[in-house]
Chains A and B, each alone.
Chain A
Amino acid sequence: MKGLINILHSDRSLQLGVIIISVICLFSILGPLLSPYHYNTQNLSESFQRPSWSHPLGTDFFGRDLLTRLMYGGRITLTVAFSATLFAVIIGTIVGLASGFIGGWLDRILMRLVDILLGFPKLFVILLLVGMGYTSLGLVVTFLALFSWMEIARIVRSDVWVAKEQLYVKSAEALGLRRRRIIFRHILPNITGPLIVSTVLLISSLILIESSLSFLGLGVQPPNASWGTILNEGRVDPVGAWWISVFSGIIIVTCVIGFNLIGDGLRNILDPKTGKKT
């Protein structure tokens, strides 16, 4: 715990990022409990109201309180992004470890697969899948994960490649330890740094992809709403009801900036060479 606080203090962007993300998480988790409104109760008499004391961020076409909707949207957006990231990291780590440690033909096949998948324009493919009727939240998460693990796999593979040649791994091999033990006790713990950085950056890029999908009307479907869905609702009248697109956009940008700051901060700590001077 003390070590954690020390790490937090060592980098400004990390600090800022952690604060932003904590606030957004609290906002999304606790916010709806405190709000007097329900995110999906329509009240057409209050349609398209400007920000006011009773509706700090205004209301949408159906008279729903925007602040409450953004809080709920945060739950969906973050859940989708976190769970897709988790899947992607698991797949990517397994593929990267197998590819890097076992090598040979397995490595060639897996890396060819990675090349092929990286060549697909992500949004086209996911759009196609979701657009063809596979719209449930679980499937959206799965599709996002299936097309995002490749970068992780590449990073893990190249790190394993380096770690494998380290003398401590050679020593462990010489001891006659089993492969599984060498991978999980000697290699994996020593490549977690870059893995964590790319995981954090993946979260932010998945928030963007999910938002784009929902923005196109193909991601999270009503009555559920992610930030992207809400932004899409604001597209109807970006000038007359400016508050919808402005505020939903601001929260997406802030959240993505938060994760990027954390990622950058962690990278600076792990590899001070590429980042800013501290």
Chain B
Amino acid sequence: MVSYVIKRIAESIPTIIIGITLTFLVIHLSPGDPGSRFMDPSQPSEYREILQNRFGLNDALHIQYIKWLKQVLFHFDFGNSFYNGKPASGMVFSALRPTMLLAICSLIFALIVGIFLGIIAAVYRDALPDRILTAKMMFFFSTPSFWLGIMLLGIFSIKLGWFPASHLTSLYHDQLNWSGRFADYVHHLILPVITLGLPLSATFYRYIRTGMIEALESEYILASRARGLSVSKLLFHYSLKNSLIPLISVLGITIPALLSGALVVEVIFSLPGLGRTMVSAVFSRDYPIILAASTLAFVTVIVGNLLADVIYSMVDPRIRIKTQGVL
């Protein structure tokens, strides 16, 4: 197991290097330069030179790249933000926390909802509950989170005023005791988590429903039913266990999607997360921030994938051999 994890980590390093190199190239080869963006057009062009020099944008591209990569690899230094001069790595890391909070809560929410409803649908297969759930889930599966988010925001925050419309915490958050802080988080996170989690739960729902139906119809389940095992035991112990395995394999694919979804949700609910940082950095051409944010996004996805694979291979040892064969 340990050697497997080490192998996977070693394999992911080229992915990260390729990813950040491409990001670097895209940014530096794109039309327009940050210098002119920060400059009053009426100023003499020497100012532009000074600015460019200060940002280190006047060197040849490969020199810039090597300098940058050295700093990143050996000092974990992505440079300072063009805007406020703070270190990019620090800014991005503090943005990662809300994103992780949002993503993990949404994942848990989606898993609970998806598994629970999937079981119900499978048990009442083709009966009314199944048909209603399947139609509902088709709706959520097809609903873009940005629309769901705006609708929830419009109805529950702006119109009814039940939930805050932006930010992760209230202004007076620091003055609260720990239970108050927790409640404050929950209050702020409910709408974003539903927004991100509901469409995702539809995906899980489908897997669980199909898996459970297959498991419930399989011969060994029918045989154990004939032997008189209780239905609830069958349901949870045998069928669910078997239908969870494919679900774990989707988790790996879900993680990049989760991060992309979090980006949109953070923009809608003005959460100070990685996605929102990325979007505003892209709009303002804050190169160090863009690079740090996308690097962190790649790393997060890879670590997430790795975790999913490790869990997967722990649950089902047959798979470990298979994935190794494929890679």
Q: Do chains A and B touch in the complex (CB under 8 A)?
A: yes
Interface positions of A (Cβ within 8 A of B): 111-112, 115-116, 118-125, 127-129, 131-134, 204, 208, 211-212, 215-216, 218, 228, 231, 234-235, 238-239, 242, 245-246, 249, 252-253, 256-257, 260-261, 264, 273-274, 276-277
Judge whether A132 and B138 touch: CB under 8 Å. no
Q: Which residues of A contact B259 (CB under 8 A)?
A: 121, 123-124
Q: Which residues of A contact B214 (CB under 8 A)?
A: 273
Which residue in B138, B268, B279 is a CB contact (below 8 Å) of A127?
A: B279
Judge whether A239 and B143 touch: CB under 8 Å. no
Interface-forming stretch among B24-32, B55-63, B168-176? Answer: B24-32
Interface membership of B83, Cβ < 8 A = no
In chain A, what residue has the closest Cβ to B282?
A: A131
Judge whether B264 and A215 touch: CB under 8 Å. yes
Judge whether A120 and B144 touch: CB under 8 Å. no
Q: A274 vs B122: C-alpha distance in the bound complex, in angstroms?
A: 12
B288-300 to A contact mask, C-beta < 8 Å, 1/0: 0010011001100
Q: Which residues of A contact B36 (CB under 8 A)?
A: none
Q: Which residues of A contact B290 (CB under 8 A)?
A: 128
Judge whether B126 and A277 touch: CB under 8 Å. yes
Judge whether A245 and B147 touch: CB under 8 Å. yes
Q: A276 vs B278: C-alpha distance in the bound complex, in angstroms?
A: 42
B210 CB → nearest A CB, Å: 6
Interface centre among A118, A121, A122, A242 (most CB of B within 10 A): A121
A242 in contact with B154 given A122-B260, A128-B294, A256-B144 (CB within 8 Å) = yes
Judge whether A124 and B278 touch: CB under 8 Å. yes
Interface membership of B146, Cβ < 8 A = yes
Judge whether A208 and B144 touch: CB under 8 Å. yes
Q: Is the interface of B mostly helix, strand, loop or mixed?
A: helix
B226 CB → nearest A CB, Å: 22
In chain A, what residue has the closest Cβ to B27?
A: A132
Q: Which residues of A contact B256 (CB under 8 A)?
A: 118-122
Q: A134 vs B31: C-alpha distance in the bound complex, in angstroms?
A: 8
Q: Which residues of B contact A242 (CB under 8 A)?
A: 154
Q: Which residues of B contact A127 (CB under 8 A)?
A: 263, 278-279, 282
| Given A133-B32, A212-B144, 8 extra CB contacts under 8 A | A115-B327, A121-B297, A123-B259, A127-B278, A128-B27, A128-B282, A253-B143, A277-B126
Q: Which residues of A contact B146 (CB under 8 A)?
A: 211-212, 215, 228, 231
Q: Which residues of B contact A215 (CB under 8 A)?
A: 144, 146, 264
Q: A148 vs B296: C-alpha distance in the bound complex, in angstroms?
A: 22
Q: A253 vs B30: C-alpha distance in the bound complex, in angstroms?
A: 34
Judge whether A256 and B142 touch: CB under 8 Å. yes
B150-176 to A contact mask, C-beta < 8 Å, 1/0: 110110001100000000000000000
Judge whether A119 and B142 touch: CB under 8 Å. no
Q: Which residues of A contact B27 (CB under 8 A)?
A: 128, 132
A249 in contact with B151 given A124-B278, A127-B263, A131-B282 (CB within 8 Å) = yes
Q: A277 vs B134: C-alpha distance in the bound complex, in angstroms?
A: 13
Which residue in A131, A245, A246 is a CB contact (below 8 Å) of B283?
A: A131
Task: Pick the 7 closest A-B CB pairs, nearest first.
Answer: A131-B282, A123-B260, A132-B30, A238-B154, A249-B147, A256-B142, A121-B259
Q: A56 vs B290: C-alpha distance in the bound complex, in angstroms?
A: 43
Which residue in A122, A129, A218, A260 is a CB contact (below 8 Å) of B26?
A: A129
Q: A87 vs B268: C-alpha distance in the bound complex, in angstroms?
A: 31
